[in-house]
Amino acid sequence: MSLAPAPGSGRTRMTDHVQLRLGILRGLSRFFERLEDAEGAVICPRHRVEHTGKLCYAALIDLESWRHTREEEALERARKRVLRTVDHLGLDPESRVPVFLPGRVDHRNASTNAIDGGACADVIATLLEDVPELFSDLDAERCRDALEQHVEGYLRHAARERPITAQRLWAATGVARAARLLGRRDWAADALTGCATALEELTPDGVAPYIPAHTDHCTHPGLADTSTFYHSRTPGFVLYVHEVLREMEGVDATLDDHARERLRASLLALVAFRDGLGHKVLHDEAKAWYWTSAYEVASHPFDVYALHVGARVLDEPLFRNEAGRAMEEWVAHVDPLDGGADSHHGPGVNFQCRIFWSGHAAWIARVIHDVPVRAAPREPVDVDLPHSGLLHVERARYTAVLRGRTLGRSNLFGCDVGGGAVQSLVRASDGRAPPEELVCRDRFRRDRPGSFLLRPRGAPGRLARLLRLLRDEKGDVRFRLYVTSIELRSRRGLLRGLAYPVRHVLLRFLGDASPWCAAHTDTETTHAWDGRVAVFTGALADGRGARVPGTATERRYTFEEDAVLLEDVLRLDGVSGAVRYRLPATLADVTVEAAGAEARRAGELVTLDATGGAVTLTVRGRWPMDA
């Protein structure tokens, strides 16, 4: 039997892909067009404000649609959107600098002047440069004047000095594009300086902190941890700025060997964040309060751009393949009815809105003509990030993501599962059954399966801990109540609005006040990896990462082709208290051993009473990969 494709089948698939790409662009355009009122305003149904910095991206989507279809209506929509964006230039009431409103001025906008300004300047300059005939002389002059005022008066400084990396780089995208249009080499230097700073802020293994720890804005250690949502802004925006400025006369925007090494490391880290379902693991999100869903694909447009351009610039096929994987999963979250993008499927209401998620699709639109629309088969890849505590392991039949070291967390910030825990273990599809997650993915769960827990005898109870949390983290409480006010004002109904404070104020703080210490909340766990065996060494810690004296853990994973073997060991020295271990439901061939105390097993729960002295509890098992 011949395995060769039938004649013409490749062309059919190519045609389908072309139609898919055009359908995405047209659908996004329709999404924004349906929301417009007679004056061209788009008032967000959820936040009840005009998100200027996101809506401007609709012009870029229409521009890319026109490039492929030559439909003049798309260009007309882009022209109107640019001019409406220019209409929003005004003064920040505090700093008195020219910005694109509402920016940070209206809290309902859920953005900043740097982010909105970077997007607006980028889009305005792009349209002026690529289709100058679209604008009358008067309108073109208005647009140029808006760029001059905003970039010179505010944005160039944000691109060089803004302490939060993603905000600085977002500003740099607009500064670079405006610099090329207007021939401002001083602006180009500002954008390139901000990019160079961002590459130096990467950890040694390429991870971009949400907020660099050395800045005053890093008010909690967890803010400097990994951010699966923001990470790809660093390589993607740096690549974009250098691409824009590379042919600008009098500007050296070449990427030297050091910059290329930093970009390669950051894109490899982006691969490491990804699980076997095509998502990034939300346990590793420093801005934890942003998400109530089980996962998000809202950041995939930035992933697609960064990986696709990075693959070309760095000549790395792996990144092109991963761009296709991210693209495929994002496409599955574009609503076929209204054309807009969603952040996830299933329960949970995330802080941003569909205008944000659909507007950010402009970064996919920039490369949609060439980016793969699905991943191709490839060899398994392992990625070890020892400085950041992350290990990504692939075999033909599964993908695992594990996390050791973290930087701590609060009710709002930081990564919630470390200590050597398996964050994700996805068994690959065998052609009959779809991919399947084999471990618990619940966030902020203290009694996580596969993690040792200890309630030290004589330690403060839940009520005392709750009162201390409310006293020490008043800012977290106030912020949660602020988010609650936004939910209550949204058009989602009173009951849904009230669900937020119940789940994310009351229940979250009650959970954080748990008297049980756990292995997966340890922040100082280290690990070693030899390509087959990973060993994580840590301790038990409370919910904020403070270790319990006299406790030690060692988690040993052996990655075979058809199974993952686990040996999980807890050692206590002079510790008294109750010990628990909830067995993962999919762990097979389990054995439990104890020394120094008696262990009891009832179903999936293993318990032990420690009364001092030396105690060892060992759990062994395997995750089989046959469906």
- CA distances 66 to 70, 330, 365, Å, are 5, 22, 11
Rounded-to-integer distance, Cα 439 and Cα 566, Å: 13
pLDDT at residue 12, as a whole number: 39
pLDDT of residue 159: 98
Structural element, H or E, at residue 452: strand 452-456
User: Are 477 and 600 found together in one domain?
Assistant: no
Tell me the HSE value of 354 on the side-chain side, using a 13 A CA sphere.
19
- CA gap 102, 87 in Å, rounded: 11
Distances (CA, A) of 412 to 108, 202, 482: 19, 23, 13
Lowest mean pLDDT among 132-146, 294-308, 366-380, 530-544: 366-380
Q: Do 27 and 172 share a domain, yes or no?
A: yes
pLDDT at residue 259 greater than cutoff 50: yes
pLDDT in tens, 23-33: 999 999 999 99
Q: How far is CA 569 from CA 169, 412, 522, 540, 594, in A?
A: 44, 31, 15, 12, 10
Among the ranges given (219-223, 500-504, 605-609), the one the predictor scored with the smallest mean pLDDT = 500-504
Please indicate, yes or no, if residue 416 is contained in any of the structural domains.
Answer: yes
In whole angstroms, what is the distance from residue 436 CA to residue 154 CA?
A: 49
Contact in structure between 302 and 354 (CB atoms under 8 Å): no
Q: Is residue 376 part of a domain?
A: no
Please give the pLDDT value at position 353.
Answer: 94
| Whole-number pLDDT of residue 10 | 35
Q: Indicate the pLDDT class of residue 375, thresholds 50, 70 and 90.
A: confident
- What is the model's pLDDT at position 497? 63
Please check whether residues 289 and 413 belong to one and the same domain: no
Could you check whether the bond before residue 45 is cis, i.e. omega within 30 degrees of 0?
Answer: no
Whether residues 78 and 124 fall in one domain: yes
Q: What is the mean pLDDT of residues 599-605?
A: 96
Residues 442-474: tens digit of each pLDDT: 998 999 999 999 999 988 887 887 788 778 777
Give the pTM. Answer: 0.94
- The mean predicted confidence, pLDDT, of the chain is 92
- The three-state DSSP-derived secondary structure of 183-209 is CCHHHHHHHHHHHHHHHHHCCCCCCCE
- Would you state the pLDDT for residue 286? 96
pLDDT score, position 6: 34
Q: Which residues on adjacent β-strands are paired with residue 209?
A: 226
The percentage of residues in the chain with a pLDDT greater than 70, rounded to a whole number, is: 95
Q: What is the pLDDT of residue 15?
A: 46
Report residue 332: phi and psi, to 5°.
Answer: -65, -10
Asked whether residue 570 falls in the same domain as residue 614, the answer is yes
Give the per-residue pLDDT at 512: 82
Question: Do the beta carbons of residue 328 and residue 351 sit within 8 Å?
Answer: no
Counting Cβ atoms within 10 Å, is residue 326 exposed (0-12), middle (13-18) or buried (19+)?
buried
Can you tell me the distance from the alpha carbon of 301 to that of 503, in angstroms, rounded to the nearest whole number?
Answer: 29
Residue 209 scores a pLDDT above 70 = yes
Boundaries of domain holding 252: 9-365
φ/ψ (deg, to 5) at 547: -75, 150
Buried b (16+ CB within 10 A) or exposed e, 168-187: bbbbbbbbbbbbbbbebeeb
Does 372 map to a domain?
A: no
Instruction: Give 477 or 401, the one with higher predicted confidence.
Output: 401
Cα–Cα distance for residue pair 329/350, rounded to 1 Å: 18
pLDDT grade, residue 506 (50/70/90)?
A: confident
Burial of 84 (0-12, 13-18, 19+ CB in 10 A): buried
Q: Reply yes or no on whether the pLDDT at 105 is more than 90.
A: yes
Q: Which of 365, 395, 426 is the last residue of a domain?
A: 365
Q: Note whether 480 and 581 are same-domain residues.
A: no
Q: Over the stretch 322-355, which tens digit does the pLDDT of each residue have?
A: 999 999 999 999 999 999 999 999 988 888 999 9
Virtual torsion, Cα 287, 292, 296, 298, nearest 10 deg: -70
Are both 224 and 246 inside the same structural domain? yes
Per residue in 167-185, pLDDT (tens digit) is 999 999 999 999 999 999 9
| Rounded-to-integer distance, Cα 302 and Cα 568, Å | 37
pLDDT of 11 reads 34
Q: Considering the domain boundaries, does residue 445 fall inside one?
A: yes
Report the DSSP beta bridge partners of residue 422.
402
- Residue 371 lies inside a defined structural domain of this protein: no
Q: Are residues 248 and 311 in the same domain?
A: yes
In 3D, which of 413, 435, 454, 395 has the Cα closest to residue 572? 454
pLDDT exceeds cutoff 60 at 8: no
Asked, for residue 378, whether it belongs to a domain, the answer is no
Which CATH number characterizes residue 98's domain?
Answer: 1.50.10.10
487 within 8 A of 500, measured Cβ to Cβ: yes
Q: Please state, in angstroms and rounded to a whole number, the distance separating the CA atoms of residues 461 and 463.
A: 6
The DSSP letter of residue 561 is S
Query: pLDDT at position 197, please?
Result: 98
| CA pair distance 246, 387, nearest whole angstrom | 33
> So what's the pLDDT on residue 509?
78
Mean pLDDT of 513-537: 96
- Domain ends where: 365, 392, 414? 365
Residue 213: its pLDDT value, please? 92
pLDDT band of 496, cuts 50, 70, 90: low
Element (H, E) at 614: strand 614-624
- The Cβ of residue 96 has, within 10 Å, a number of other Cβ atoms equal to 9
Q: Are residues 472 and 453 in the same domain?
A: no
109-137 pLDDT, tens digit per residue, is 999 999 999 999 999 999 999 999 999 99
Gyration radius from the chain CA atoms: 26
Looking at residue 14, what is its pLDDT?
40
Domain annotation covers residue 373: no
As a residue count, the chain comes to: 627
pLDDT band at residue 492 using 50, 70 and 90 as cut-offs: low
Q: What is the largest CA-CA distance in the chain?
A: 85
Could you tell me if 398 and 423 lie in one domain? yes
List CB contacts of 506: < 8 A, sequence separation 6 or more: none
Residue 97 lies in a domain: yes
pLDDT at 16 over 90: no
Give the ranges where 88-155 is alpha helix by DSSP (H): 113-130, 137-150
| One domain, residues 212 and 326 | yes
Domain count, the chain: 3
* pLDDT value of residue 1: 30
On the question of pLDDT at 603 being above 90, the answer is: yes
CA separation for the pair 195, 490 (Å, rounded): 37
More confident position, 152 or 500: 152
Residues 92 and 133 grouped into a single domain: yes
Tell me which of 469 and 95 has the higher pLDDT: 95
Q: Identify whether the C-beta of residue 434 lies closer than 8 Å to the C-beta of residue 560.
A: no
For residues 89 and 98, is the Cβ–Cβ distance under 8 A?
Answer: yes
For residues 176 and 187, what is the distance between their CA atoms, to the nearest angstrom?
A: 7
Q: CA–CA separation, 611 vs 7, rounded Å?
A: 75
For residue 515, how far is the Cα from the chain centroid? 30
pLDDT tens digits, residue range 539-588?
Answer: 999 988 999 999 999 999 999 999 999 999 999 999 999 999 999 999 99
Of 509 and 40, the structure prediction assigns the larger pLDDT to: 40
Q: Is 490 a residue whose pLDDT tops 70?
A: no
How far CA 508 is from CA of 296, 443, 517, in Å, comes to 20, 11, 16
Separation CA 275–CA 571 (nearest Å): 31
